[in-house]
A and B are shown apart, each in its own frame.
Chain A
Amino acid sequence: MTTSADRAPLDEQIAQWRLYLRRRRAIHGPDVEELEGHLRDQMAVLTEAGLAGDEAFLIAVKRMGSLDALSREFAREYSERLWKQLVIAPEAGGELGKSTRTETLVVLSLAVAAAVAIKAPALFGLQLGGGDEPFYARNASLFVLPPLAAYFAWKRGVAVVTCAWLVLPFAAAAVVANIFPFGTGSDTEALTALHLPIALWLVVGVAYVGGGWFASGGRMDFVRFSGELFIYYVLIALGGGVLTAFTMMMFNAIDINAAWLAEGWLIPCGAMGAVIVGSWLVEAKQSVVENMAPVLTRLFTPLFTVVLLAFLGTMAWTGSPINLKREVLIAFDLLLVLVVGLVLYAASARDPQAPPDFFDRLQLLLVVSALVVDALALAAIVARISEFGFTPNRVAALGENLILLVNLTWSAWLYARFLRGRGSFAVLEQWQIAYLPVYSVWAAFVVVFFPLVFDYR
């Protein structure tokens, strides 16, 4: 029935299907071959019965069942594969094995590159732990984020032109962070160190979605990635802590002080390399294992709601005002960021079609209590500014609080609408996603203009 002319595109379709199957980490090369054999047998019978080639293909694929369900079954049967896959290239060679090995090599070289980057300034006399900490604090993100962006650019096959555009912000950041003559221990310098990573994280995001920042879906994936990376990073850091402790202990036992090894090499190089390796782990396992961030979100949303309500209650009862030291301001901003994060991750894991449930009401309560806390902090900052004038810290805190206030207010409004059945959840998700670049743009603004405006104070 099939002529060779219409078999060629059919072979292409089968090749595509095979490719989809191969991406599932739980299904290995020989299994793919077996499944493809099945698909071809089925198609042969169907074409024999009079179906056209592409019709036979469609039916055969449909009968095979959903790939998600299939890979889940395989994952259940071969749970050991999932972890082995992360560290060892699969023993059955072929294309897949090769690309996994190449990726391992790329990741390891980039991790080493990040480690080298943080050690390189030492060659020029800038010692970590020798009074040059401000230099390292300003540049920390510049050691590790370019390799990370390079990894994603490589992985996603980003076009050369886009790569050039990705290099630009990093180069600009390197210039800005290093040519400003910051005063010793100045606030603007601390602000630069804090805000530069946030600004550059957007660039990593662009690399992560393969340059298509405005394509739908990509940004939410990047949000999920960021959360997972954070969790992996913490886990790796815990392991690193244990390694460091044992290193110190063992060398101490033979009366050699290994502090220089731990502080000068193990910790800084590990901290840099772990970002790359953690990202790779997140990339490698994302298709198989249930993501962790949404689970933590479910766990901590009620707890944070209780804490926020307790805080507000106590404040109302005692009437103590918010104390405005820099650490307190940062802590409050972080708290609000965390609430926004909880909303964001709850949104990322939620089925937009599902009707409102108890958890959504809890989310609204969390958002509203965070709003009240935010408004209180904002009032305290404004009062402080009107009394003592502008300082870089106060203005930075003011800006961040305003940005979060806008986000939380609109989120609360959308949540309320959703709970009353007047709007869909998808709108809330879109709002959160659309708002993401605002944080980075503000951070970039702080990095570039604050030192100039406040005269490097």
Chain B
Amino acid sequence: MDFGKDLVAASATPLVLAILAEGDSYGYALIKRVTELSGGHLQWTDGMLYPVLHRLERHGLVAAKWGASESGRRRKYYRITKEGRAQLALQRQQWQVVNSTLRGIWMKACTA
């Protein structure tokens, strides 16, 4: 499925925050998790994740730390912060409103 650029951009923040709420992670694993959770429907251009992560870091929603990967190379790990969790809760409410609104319209369309 081809998602519009705006929709991908808008959903990136809650997705990244939600996955990080499950536990600390790094770029590649995040992308894999998104593909997995969406059943392969959401395919991000890999590189685009990083500007998003860096923006979240700048806003203090996630914290980053350099660690080591299994192969011994340096790898940057991301952790959700308290502000990040608060932001996630807020975004969750907002997306639920959007979701239930759309659902309401589409249910009516089905029964009509």
Chain A residues within 8 Å of B, Cβ to Cβ: 30-31, 33-35, 37-38, 40-42, 44, 63-65, 67, 69-70, 73-74, 76-78
Contacts and interface: CB of A to CB of B under 8 A. Distances in A.
A63 B50 contact: no
Contacts of A42: 28, 46
A42 B26 CA distance: 13
A37 B51 contact: no
Contacts, number: 59
Given A73-B51, A74-B51, A77-B51, A38 B73 contact: no
B47 interface: yes
A30 B26 CA distance: 14
Contacts of A35: 47, 50
B46 A64 contact: yes
B75 interface: yes
Interface of B: 26-28, 31, 45-48, 50-51, 54-55, 58, 69, 71, 73-76
Nearest to A34: B76
B107 to A, nearest CB: 37
A63 B69 CA distance: 21
B14 to A, nearest CB: 18
A38 B27 contact: yes
Residue of B31, B48, B50, B75 with most chain A CB atoms under a 10 A cut-off = B50
Chain A residues touching B, majority SS: helix
A31 B54 CA distance: 9
A2 to B, nearest CB: 13
Residue of A38, A44, A63, A74 with most chain B CB atoms under a 10 A cut-off = A38
A348 B62 CA distance: 43
Given A64-B46, A70-B48, A77 B69 contact: no
5 contacts: A38-B28, A64-B45, A65-B46, A76-B51, A77-B54
B73 to A, nearest CB: 6
B27 A37 contact: yes
A34 B105 CA distance: 43
Contact of A77 (B27, B47, B55): B55
A217 B44 CA distance: 33
A64 B28 contact: no
Contact of B27 (A34, A65, A69, A73): A34
